[in-house]
Amino acid sequence: MLEDVLSETIATQSAQAGVAKYRELREKYYGGFVFDFGENVLLRLAQQLQAGGKSEEALAMLKLNAEFYPDSWMTFLQLAELYSTKGEKTAAIERYKKTLSLNPENGRAKKMLEELMKE
């Protein structure tokens, strides 16, 4: 699975190597049946990385996902939550706003944005 390949690359090398590996594999295999390049793959990997205390690596995967799936409200919501966790309020607010521009009815994004704007 693509997540396994990227996890191994990140664990043994770096987040940047994981990004490069994703680009390499996507260039070579996109449109085929070898790997799933859907938006949820990098979202799941980012969640796993963040749960494992690797927020910078998770951030790299989410930024990569945003590049390939710029209309993915889920990606921007996860980015917003990660930035919020890191204490990067301005970045979190920007990503919550982007989430709401893509999915205006997202209750979680609305609530979190309201809370951040009060601070």
Say if residues 86 and 57 touch (Cβ distance below 8 Å): no
Angle (nearest 5°) at CA 115 between 111 and 117: 115
pLDDT tens, N- to C-terminus, the chain (119 residues): 899 999 999 999 999 999 999 999 999 999 888 888 999 999 999 999 999 999 999 999 999 999 999 999 999 999 999 999 999 999 999 999 999 999 999 999 999 999 999 97
Structure tokens at 49: 């990385």
Q: What is the pTM of this model?
A: 0.89
d(CA 110, CA 84): 14
d(CA 73, CA 77): 6
Classified as helix, coil or strand, 87 is coil
Say if residues 99 and 106 touch (Cβ distance below 8 Å): yes
Domain positions in the chain? 1-69, 71-119
